[in-house]
Amino acid sequence: MSYDIVIKGGRVVSSTGTTRADVGIAGEKIAATGLDLQGAQTIDASGKLLLPGAMDVHNHFQLPFCGTVSAGFANGSKAAAMGGVTTFLDFAIQVKPASLMETIAARRAEADPDVCIDYGLHAGITDWNDDRAKELPAVIKAGLPTFKMFMIYRSEGWQSTDADLYCALRESAKYGGMVGVHAENDDLINLFHREAERDGLTGCYAHALTRPTVTESEAIARAIKIAEAAGGRLYIFHLSTGCAADIVHESRRRGIDVHAETGPQYLLLDDELFKREDGHHFATCPPIRKAEDQDKLWQRLADGSVEVLATDTCTFNSRQKAMWAGDFRKIPFGMPGIETLLPLTHARGVGEGRISLGRMVKALSENPARLFGMWPRKGTISAGSDADVVVFDPELEVVISHETLATDCDYNPFEGTKVRGWPVTTLVRGKVVVRDREFIGEPGYGKFIEREPAPADG
């Protein structure tokens, strides 16, 4: 049997181990893994790891937010491919009074022509009511079994009440959906903002001071209680604190259907950065935290309590970030991240002995695919799955710099970080979109993935 492409001589990685095997690709699918496979085209992967494409389930491309618009789908998906991400999830955030279905159609019209890798959308609910409840089955049928609700962002018109969250969780559970939350306590943050104003604190470090860990941990504990009472499946986006990671750990031990993600910014950066002149470049919500939070987050990632790594990419360049004009409340919140997700996780997690290679693949590929309804089509190098494969050179040393990354941004939060290990070739559904670190993909190649509700055991 001859395949269209054979990736030869690499070691195939999954959460359960690493196997020396060739990967045979026929059309868009992996047809076989084994030794001595033959193909019309060969990719030499000697000395390399073959990873299932990373999946970044939290991104905001082309998002009108904080008075400006984040960087778009074309560059974002190109940067993703260069970083070994083969599928990303973004959001169709409802702008009232548009329905969810109208919002999804509009968002797809923005993304479809531009994306060079596969993608899906979460439905962002901003006005829970009977119409939204009636829409849920259609939204899930359209391939969006996961939702996002915001416990903050009143000024954007996005905030949901606890009652909204309860009802959405209860209703979505009927159809196997999952509700994700941006969990921060709005009342407390507003109080701390007023106190900062009273005390004349406007600088960037006040972003951290006005969002102490309780503003996240209380909201996460509350969301978990609400999910438990409603009987729904809950996902915590961008968990940032050690204490919240412990709450998730305890809740999961009690059998609550809660799942959590964190990201490289929370594992690797700390809030001392806000004291720098360019501190506003690092401002995101929730804020980056302290070294002790990082240690706990690594521990909870390693023990599986935090199941997913994702970036919350929401890229604003330095001109956009300058809109803060010295007032921390006006910073466009968000950072670049999708391109460095896999190399940073590998170098700082696996390379420095904090997590195993198997855990990395679980957090970047297998768990996202399972939880977000794409398994086993995606997230694994197995016969029958989409041929989303990353040839990863574990020895290649790279110094992260905005000047050499594909991400179109004039700074990078991880600028100057030395990493060992970088993706060199990326295939999406059997097509080589990055070859030897050169981007050869095309806008519009990426497909919208209609996802299924995940099975109860995730």
> CB of 170 within 8 A of CB of 257?
no
Give least dist CB 332 to Zn ion, A.
Answer: 14
Size of the site for Zn ion (CB under 5 A): 1
Pick 182 or 289: Cβ nearer ligand URP: 182
Pick 177 or 334: Cβ nearer ligand URP: 334
11 lies in the binding site for Zn ion (CB under 5 A): no
Q: Which positions touch ligand URP (CB under 6 A)?
A: 60, 182, 284-285, 312, 314, 333-334
Closest residue to ligand URP, based on beta-carbon distance = 333
Residue 161 DSSP one-character state: -
Number of H helices, E strands in the chain: 14, 21
How far is residue 62's CA from residue 292's CA, in Å, rounded to a whole number?
34
Sign, CA dihedral 209-69-145-86, equals: negative
Pick 76 or 334: Cβ nearer ligand URP: 334
How far is residue 435's CA from residue 162's CA, in Å, rounded to a whole number?
48
Other CB atoms closer than 10 Å to residue 16's CB: what's the count? 10
The piece of 177-185, 301-309, 404-412, 444-452 that touches Zn ion (CB under 5 A) is: 177-185
- Identify the CA nearest to 196 among candidates 183, 212, 181, 180: 212
Residues 6 or more apart whose CB falls under 8 angstroms from that of 410 comprise 317, 318, 402
Give least dist CB 270 to ligand URP, A.
Answer: 17
Pick 60 or 78: Cβ nearer ligand URP: 60
Give least dist CB 237 to Zn ion, A.
Answer: 5
Apex CA 124: angle with CA 178 and CA 301, to 5°? 50
Pick 212 or 443: Cβ nearer Zn ion: 212
Pick 179 or 432: Cβ nearer ligand URP: 179
**Residue 39 interacting entry, from ligand URP, Zn ion, none, C-beta within 5 to 8 Å by type:** none
182 lies in the binding site for Zn ion (CB under 5 A): yes
Residue 311 DSSP one-character state: -
Give least dist CB 333 to ligand URP, A.
Answer: 3
Give least dist CB 402 to ligand URP, A.
Answer: 19
Residue 126 DSSP one-character state: S
Residue with tokens 């806000």: 274
211 lies in the binding site for Zn ion (CB under 5 A): no
Interface with Zn ion (CB under 5 A): 182
